[in-house]
Structure 1
Amino acid sequence: MAELIPLKTPLDDTGLPHHRPGTATRTAAAGISRFHHPLFLRSEPGRFEGWVTYSFRAFTGLEVQPLMPMEAIRDMSLSREQSTDLSNQYEAARVLWSKARLRRQAGPLLKQAAPLWEAWAAAHGQLLDTFGEFWSIEDSRWRAQLLRLTDAERAAESAAEAFDEIAERLTQLTEEQVRVAGEDEDLPLSTIAKELGLDDSNWHIAWSGAYTSSTASWRGIGDRLIDKVHKEIDAERERLREVQVLAGDRDLSDSELV
């Protein structure tokens, strides 16, 4: 049996509706079958009067992006209703194709991201624990604890950068899907993750501009995971400097905390 892939919208959960005069559906459908998308199955009245639903066989995401054939665009024998019906059909096909392609491309990356996020969470936890130990260590162990802190900082930075690399690729894919389908038909990464049995509820994936903006490399500025780590590290080191000043400790210079 052919698999139906309905395009969900806020108004109709069985397909892509386009508002046109209700009597135009049968008229437009006649004589355009030669121009149908290869995976097109049928069009039928939607749930609301004057709306049309388009159904297709399953897209894999490997197909060429659905575009209305030039032959159809140039065919002067087609009525306005027929041209509109074909245009709407291919719009529906592009949305479905874009979602299938995103699932195919993002799925493997999401699976790679899962252990990278776990590694980051562990490294970040170690960083917090190491900094927290300054509250209880003896003064004689201060320098040794600083060494442990810098090790924890580097581990957290490395883990954050590894996750950011995957996150950037994921945001690029989602932006491509939105460019094709439009913001109203975006497919959230969380939806794909859930389909794969992954819990991404705590993951930090910034918008694509955060990874490409000229300000992304400025320390303490930006929304990448590494930016958040740098901001946290800077705050911790500033707190240590304050303690040094209050304690009158001049043996440790600021350079040892940088």
Structure 2
Amino acid sequence: MTHTTIPLKHPLDDTGLSNQQAPAQPTPPQTPVIADISRYNHPLFLRREPGRHAGATYYFAAFTGSEPEPQAPRAAYNYKVLTWEQICELGRQYEAAQILWSKARLRRQATPVLRKAAPLWEAWTAAKTELERVYTGFRQTEDGRWRAQLLRLTDAETTAEAAAGAWDEIARQLAQLAAAQINAAGYDDELRLTTVAKDLGLDASDWHIEHIDAYTDRFWGEPTPLLERLAQQVNAQRERLVEVARLAGDPENPQHQLV
């Protein structure tokens, strides 16, 4: 029998197959590493539950308001294994924590101020009522007794001015606290001072409290909100008295006493 030898272009390996013909070994699929973000949760975080409209509800243990302002740890953003979705989720959690914390802080800080403000508002309303009563009394005051009534009026004005100034100072403190809560949570999650007061059994619905800018962004010598309102009322009353005395030809014209 004749043997024929066929030369190979490629050497055979140990399996008897050429290196060129050896089947490629499939690379096993790599399972993506999903980092555990629980290590970055806020200390008071309890759980997250799906919400309506693809949102979520975050549950926390009760905030006291004395905790540091909730902020996601810097390490969470430097941790290269976290996915963008995990980073966003962590951000939403801390946003919810900040809102709850800001409300708790407002309640804690505003409670003693609100309690102090209540009698100051009562003092202002009483002074304002007395001022209006004295001014109205000019309608029944005899011509010869206008000087005495003017003295009562100036006394009432002084009392009202002191009460308005005291109120504006406490109102400034409350406005500052309210502004800090809005800065932390946003206007959509504002906790109103009237709500905090109501929970304390106080009715603050008529209290005159403006935005903090009204108490801080003023020109030198410009009156604070309630003092400005009082000044307008006093000026209107005085102008009216001067006009009446002028029309009556009163020799004891109150103009000199009221200027």
TM-score strictly above 0.5: yes
Instruction: After superposition, give the CA deviation of every residue in 1:108-142 in whole Å (9 maximum; x if it has no partner).
Output: 11111111111111111100000000000111110
Take 1:59 and 1:207, find their aligned partners in 2: how far apart are those partners? 26
The reply on whether 1:143 has 2:144 as its aligned counterpart is no
For residue 170 of structure 2, give the secondary structure of its aligned residue in structure 1. Answer: helix
Cα distance in 2 between the residues matched to 1:49 and 1:148: 65
Q: Work out which of the residue numbers 100, 121, 140 in structure 1 matches 2:125.
A: 121
CA contact (8 A) 1:210 1:216 kept: no
Which secondary structure does the structure 2 equivalent of 1:252 belong to? coil
1:249: how far off?
A: 2.2
Instruction: Verify the 8 A CA contact 1:59 1:97 in the aligned structure 2.
Output: yes
How far the C-alpha of 1:252 sits from its partner, in A, is 3.4
Alignment CA distance shift 1:255-1:213 (3 Å): farther
Aligned residue type for 1:140: G
> What SS does structure 2 have at the residue aligned with 1:146?
helix
Are the aligned partners of 1:116 and 1:162 in contact in 2 as well (CA < 8 Å)?
yes
CA distance in 2, matches of 1:126, 1:49: 56
- Alpha-carbon separation, structure 1, partners of 2:105 and 2:35: 31
Determine whether 1:38 maps to 2:38: no
Q: Structure 1: which 5+ residue stretches go unaligned?
A: 1-28
* Secondary structure of 1:105's aligned partner: helix
Alignment match, 2:73 = 69
Q: d(CA) in 2 for partners of 1:183 and 1:193? A: 19
* Match status 1:133 vs 2:134: no
* AA matched with 2:258: L
Letter in 1 for 2:236: A
For residues 104-253 of structure 1, what are the structure 2 equivalents within 5 Å?
104-215=108-219, 217-218=221-222, 224-252=225-253
Shift of 1:255: 3.4
Identity percentage of aligned residues = 53
Q: Considering only CA atoms, is the larger Rg found in Structure 1 or Structure 2?
A: 2
- Equivalent residues, number: 226
User: Is contact 2:35-2:81 (8 Å) kept?
Assistant: no
Hey, what's the Cα distance between the residues in 1 that align with 2:79 and 2:251? 85
> Considering only aligned residues, what root-mean-square deviation do their CA atoms show, in Å?
1.6
Using the size of structure 1 for normalisation, the TM-score is 0.84
> Normalising by the residue count of structure 2, what TM-score does the alignment of the two structures yield?
0.84
1:215-248, Cα deviation, whole Å (9 max, x unpaired): 58436xx7x1111111100000000110111011
